[in-house]
Chains A and B, each alone.
Chain A
């Protein structure tokens, strides 16, 4: 077991993807916001940026009407020294439907050609066959670095030995370059880290280990400090308004804490501050909530259902006039989770478990009389092989449903040539993949909108906003806005 009292740490920044997704519904950042700060982010010294995902690319097209491939190219040009990371399960691209392996190969090839160089291989059920296959496809497509996830959760099944076993599999896979502990709920405590991380490192065959722990419970800033002493090479962070909260630990604070603990972090402090203040100002200018340090919540450690999800659940029960049964539902969630083989509570599994628990409690019949399609697909293995076996009785009840037969008989996903046949020969691969994953209207809308704006100044927004509001209503002939450090005067023709 190793102990590194003083270590050199590198940082991976997640602001643009996981920060945006956790705090701003994945819709806060547009091309302009990213393009403006990209050159500066390149010079900070981050090892990599968590840059994009299926979800993020879909949002670009659907919500912002901007081309995510162009955004990638533009960012790659502005960031020659920093790895750009894509995270995905390897099974799907934007749409929820499973994609044909050939289509996934094409996805990775297009991503590599457009400038993506680091790829997360993530299977929440830790299905090693799926992981190995995805890693192979990525390397064949030219991906420079493959990082495999060890998704952390607390359950009887997920002990140190379990993760040590996964680490051993990752060590043996030639297409995996490094691994990371992924803690989406932010529940990894420093105490647990002190046994878990050494167990993983002992079996990782010398490959580097990173830590990605959300700050939702206020634990991860401390866990990261512990990790630094345990041999973790890279810590993942968020900057300014895109750090803390349900995002990752704040970069500036963690860097300061690491150095105060005697470690070295080779990042440019001045530029890190510029990036952080940029996101702060952007958040203020766009009325987006800034991540704030969070308090520990012991109840959460048990049910691991995210705050937002619980709020939605309460609301749904209230709409059904059944809010008084909230406690029952929470208890059922724990039982269902065990029956379904302890899926890790990362999207889409929380929604799935809660959906089934709700159906069991309020459905008005026996348990598993109602089974949502998603749960059926899960037990059919569409989301990967469940980590632990599904309870045999439950499995039986679900698979004997007629709907289960229908879903099992669904046609296989379309191959690339079938897609070409459907969408035509004259569009490029990038557009083909977007059309595969999204409704035509959304892709058409994006193309019609033209090239995206690529510069943004948070300081100019208040002035622009004020002027736009003035355009909406009759204006005084003279207007003054006088605040500390800011005075704006508009004078009309009468003057």
Chain B
């Protein structure tokens, strides 16, 4: 009789490692944390039942090293690997290598990862599933069709890499004269970053709302767990997220959710995943952006309003169980907002601020997902996320008040953080009204910095 995973290797670090460990502990699953040399003494390392070294500090040699991660899982006799987010979480090579080693990869199937990782392929699936996409198309090798394509789409256009995201291989082109050069540069960047030089064009929408829908699928059935708004971003890095997305009309909200489920069903999605959209609330229009085939940083706001544990659901699905919930079992209560507290200096170009944490005081009574405590080192090799503060309330106003109070009680010493920026944003009238678009942060923060 299958009684589930006995031991899981967590192939990640930081707050998500601590997060996954927490659920595994509650379920009785033994945890082995993969650590680089920089993380061997970290708080998650102390929470895990055991740790296993995967390499030196540099991510490419450790957390991004498929062979090292799989070897660690095999050595540790893990039944499964949880890849967290970022790093190898959507990497088909890791998923395949795990399968070959007889270890379950806690995430979607290999062919799903290949479909969603290739932005062009994902776009084609979206179109086939009936989702609205921004006008666009594939740039053929040699860019023969680029000009005609761009003319058809209409300027300004965005040149995007097919092989990956995160801002690399991305170029805005406002005039036809700049197109050829932009395509060449983006292509080269993409080749360097992803080993895949393919690019495509899309209508460039400078402002809209970034709204995403959380999915859960077991390979047969797909349900959604509501939407989130992540419009407060800087250079495609999210800083504040909330659930549900505020100030959406019912048709728009229902449309987003149905579209996400339709795409999930077409992909026969298995696991937890998110479909990202660009929404234009003025016209109630929305466009597919991409699929993130992993658990996301901002998942706590969805957990807060649904009462679910997404990591537990991921594990259950990976153990081969059918979805435990039907759509009508999913209920939403209240509103939740999350701030990402990063070790960076918003007053100086958001320069990362590694170092050693001397003080880590957090607000009691709200959810804080963190991996740092007094004495923790913040290495320069990885992202700068220190903690997520998540406040839930009966409505958005209450969640906002609680989050403001929580930020006031947050004190992190030893590194520079973006706490002051969060406090300023949460005090801003425009944010308080809700429904800000993706241009909001750059616009407002410049103003706040200027005011000192």
Q: A residues engaging B (CB < 8 A)?
A: 39-40, 42-45, 47, 77, 80-82, 268, 270-271, 274
Contact = CB atoms under 8 A, between A and B. Distances in A.
Contact of A45 (B3, B26, B29, B321): B3
A39 B26 contact: yes
Nearest to A83: B1
Contact of A40 (B1, B2, B28, B321): B28
Interface in B7-46: 26-30
B433 interface: no
B1 A45 contact: yes
A77 B324 contact: yes
Nearest to A44: B3
Contacts of B29: 43
B3 A43 contact: yes
Contacts of A40: 27-28
B4 interface: yes
A39 B3 contact: no
Interface string B148-160: 0000000000000
Contact of B27 (A39, A45, A268, A270): A39
A268 B3 contact: yes
Given A39-B28, A40-B27, A43-B27, A81 B6 contact: no
B28 A43 contact: yes
Contacts of A47: 1
A274 B324 CA distance: 25
A80 B28 contact: no
Nearest to B5: A43
Contacts of A80: 321, 324
Nearest to B2: A81
B27 to A, nearest CB: 5
A81 B1 contact: yes
A43 B30 CA distance: 11
A268 B324 CA distance: 24
22 contacts: A39-B26, A39-B27, A39-B28, A40-B27, A40-B28, A42-B4, A43-B3, A43-B27, A43-B29, A44-B3, A47-B1, A77-B324, A80-B324, A81-B1, A81-B2, A81-B3, A81-B4, A82-B3, A268-B3, A268-B6, A270-B6, A274-B28
Given A43-B4, A268-B3, A274-B28, 14 more contacts: A39-B27, A39-B28, A42-B4, A43-B3, A43-B6, A43-B27, A44-B3, A45-B1, A45-B3, A80-B321, A80-B324, A81-B1, A81-B3, A268-B6
A270 B30 contact: yes
A268 B3 CA distance: 10
B196 to A, nearest CB: 41
Nearest to A77: B324
Contacts of A42: 3-4
A301 B3 CA distance: 40
A281 to B, nearest CB: 15
Contacts of A270: 6, 30
Nearest to B316: A80
Contacts of A82: 3
Closest 10 A-B residue pairs measured CB to CB? A40-B28, A39-B27, A43-B3, A81-B3, A271-B28, A43-B28, A43-B4, A45-B3, A274-B28, A81-B1
A161 to B, nearest CB: 36
Contacts of A43: 3-4, 6, 27-29
A77 B313 CA distance: 12
B330 to A, nearest CB: 14
A213 to B, nearest CB: 24
A44 B6 CA distance: 10
Contacts of A39: 26-28
A47 B3 CA distance: 10
Contacts of B28: 39-40, 43, 271, 274
Contacts of B26: 39
B303 to A, nearest CB: 15
A42 B2 CA distance: 10
Nearest to B6: A268
A27 to B, nearest CB: 26
Interface in B197-237: none
Interface in B144-202: none
Nearest to B321: A80
Nearest to A268: B6
Nearest to B27: A39
A40 B28 CA distance: 5
Nearest to B7: A270
Interface in B272-310: none
A42 B29 CA distance: 11
Centre residue among B3, B30, B324 by max chain A CB count within 10 A: B3
A16 to B, nearest CB: 16
A43 B79 CA distance: 14
Nearest to A82: B3
B165 to A, nearest CB: 36
Nearest to B325: A77
Contacts of B27: 39-40, 43
Nearest to B30: A270
Interface string B315-352: 00000010010000000000000000000000000000
Contacts of B1: 45, 47, 81
A40 B26 CA distance: 7
Contacts of B3: 42-45, 81-82, 268
A271 B30 CA distance: 9
A43 B319 CA distance: 12
Nearest to A79: B3
A5 B321 CA distance: 37
Interface in B403-452: none
A410 B340 CA distance: 71
Nearest to B23: A39
A278 to B, nearest CB: 10
Centre residue among A40, A77, A80, A82 by max chain B CB count within 10 A: A80
A47 B27 CA distance: 18
A47 B1 CA distance: 9
Nearest to A278: B28
B10 to A, nearest CB: 18
Interface string B232-262: 0000000000000000000000000000000
A77 B17 CA distance: 26
Contacts of A271: 28
Interface in B366-396: none
Contacts of B321: 80
A80 B321 CA distance: 9
Contacts of A77: 324
